[in-house]
Structure 1
């Protein structure tokens, strides 16, 4: 038995030595031999280098073509397989969802400016997928815990609803941010409109100048309103649609004043001047109101971070001295 073990040990050692020598030969000797062959070939035929370069270029082009083909195939796979599945599930969810909720989600998508990036069926599918992921994750997390059936079910339902409502939560945040951006950009656009109209441009010409030289959510709405007018929609209808898409009170006041000025035939320059002053004053009041909210909002970081540190610094010496005396 001992002789057999010695034989196995000797064979294994010999195999290891052979592998090490073979790896050394492959690493050191073989590259040098290949380099020598390459040098001799270049000396014998100087056109080989050019041919190799052409082959490399051709290979690079083939690789780029193959990558383009793969990306195209991936896009085709998404378009042919994934997108129809998502749209089909989204359509089924739309049939099961109440109409009031669908209208509310669609309105939030329009106000947030996400109706093209994330259509309503895709949004419903995302909510369903988020809820399912939260259900599966917390099912395995709560599986080994000491909860009875009612507690386990209640927690699962709560976390599933939270996961399903997460897309709506982020959509509301995007909606508020876009409305805030529109509210901040409106006074500047109104000033430029007023100056342009008073300089001799028409209302449409002033809007065109603004859409060409400015960017932002309000400018995008102006551009869409102009596109609607070019397509044959009446201007007052396009203005009302723009106000509904923005859902900002100042924009509604602006569109209402423009519609009334067109109906009554009053001066567009004076109307825009009055609206510009009014919106600038409303914006100033809004900024003051936000500044007045700052002392209330600062209470939460004070209570959470500053007061505990203050209590530790002020009361800890007294507590330590009392503990020593006791």
Structure 2
């Protein structure tokens, strides 16, 4: 059994790098350098075997078996700003599922004795579940981080767009002016996507609503609704944008205050686990040593 597991681990160690440098590398990978940099290291490493599994048809199979979940995964990937398909995401989960199970099974087999063989499949199942869940956790963290970056940048972007409109530009030209400033951020990417939709014939209010659905920030959703209502009523967009910018700034400050108020409660667990035991050890160790030297029975 040990020899079989070792042979399988050696096979994986030889075959996967070979696939990466021969089958999956080349000109197509050079075009994806910018896209790869947005991926976390674990997803970046698991992507070559995932693409290989997708070429074998596993990605298409998972998409057909779980159509509803595939749409949910696509929305989650768009929300995180990742340009990978749901099929590739499923194959990443499958690769990490089997790799984690294989590694945990091999290590547990080498460490436990004959009497505790029942722990081998248990360790494999736990590791497989954790490995298969890692891509979803990483994508969720990326989506949350991207949402916070967009939320921080929205008020100032609206102020800049409103200033450009006061200078004589229309709404589309003002957004293009903000995009061309060269500020690299997720919000700029979303504005660029909205501009491309408008260039393809999508009306302004619909493009704004599509952007609001992608980023899923309620303050921007209210901004898109206000712009749409102002467009229908013929109200000046500059005043509407100034009011919405102030509201978003207040919402951002309120969020910062809420996080600051949560800080003391979040510090309780690290203090109870790490700081208080160290304090007790520092205080009680001299007392313990003196009692031991005096011959006082401790227990």
TM-score interval for Structure 1 and Structure 2 normalised by the shorter chain: 0.7 to 0.9
What is the aligned counterpart of 2:106 among 137, 140, 145? 140
CA–CA distance in 2 between the matches of 1:320 and 1:242? 67
Match of 1:130 in 2: 96
Deviation at 1:73, TM superposition (A): 10
Secondary structure (helix, strand or coil) at the match of 1:293 reads helix
CA–CA distance in 2 between the matches of 1:74 and 1:120? 21
Match of 2:11 in 1: none
Match of 2:137 in 1: 169
Deviation at 1:307, TM superposition (A): 1.4
What is the aligned counterpart of 1:292 among 243, 246, 261? 261
- On the 8 A contact 2:53/2:91 being kept in 1, the answer is no
Computing the radius of gyration from Cα coordinates, the structure with the larger value is 1
- On the 8 A contact 1:108/1:171 being kept in 2, the answer is yes
Cα RMSD after superposing both structures: 2.6
User: Which runs of 5 or more structure 1 residues have no equivalent in the other structure?
Assistant: 1-69
For the pair 1:119 / 2:88, whether they are aligned, the reply is no
What is the aligned counterpart of 1:206 among 174, 181, 185? 174
CA–CA distance in 2 between the matches of 1:311 and 1:129? 46
Deviation at 1:240, TM superposition (A): 1.2
Match of 1:314 in 2: 283
CA–CA distance in 1 between the matches of 2:136 and 2:254? 30
Question: When the two structures are superposed, what TM-score results if normalisation uses the length of structure 2?
Answer: 0.77
Match of 2:37 in 1: none
User: Which runs of 5 or more structure 2 residues have no equivalent in the other structure?
Assistant: 1-20, 31-47
Residues 159 and 73 of structure 1, relative CA distance in 2, 3 Å threshold:
closer
Residues 138 and 196 of structure 1, relative CA distance in 2, 3 Å threshold:
same
Deviation at 1:284, TM superposition (A): 1.0
CA–CA distance in 1 between the matches of 2:63 and 2:98? 17
What is the aligned counterpart of 2:61 among 67, 70, 92? 92
For the pair 1:247 / 2:216, whether they are aligned, the reply is yes
Q: Which stretches of structure 1, 4 residues or longer, exceed 6 Å deviation after superposition? A: 70-73, 76-79
Residues 168 and 73 of structure 1, relative CA distance in 2, 3 Å threshold:
closer
Deviation at 1:148, TM superposition (A): 5.1
Residues 50-69 of structure 1: pairs in structure 2 closer than 5 A: none
Residues 316 and 252 of structure 1, relative CA distance in 2, 3 Å threshold:
same
Q: List per-residue Cα deviations over 1:272-315 (Å, max 9, x = no partner).
A: 11101111111111111111121122223322332122112222
Deviation at 1:216, TM superposition (A): 0.8
Match of 1:302 in 2: 271
Question: When the two structures are superposed, what TM-score results if normalisation uses the length of structure 1?
Answer: 0.71
Deviation at 1:322, TM superposition (A): 2.0
Residues 154 and 234 of structure 1, relative CA distance in 2, 3 Å threshold:
same
CA–CA distance in 1 between the matches of 2:290 and 2:139? 54
Secondary structure (helix, strand or coil) at the match of 2:26 reads helix
Q: List per-residue Cα deviations over 1:240-295 (Å, max 9, x = no partner).
A: 11111111112211111111111111111110111011111111111111111211
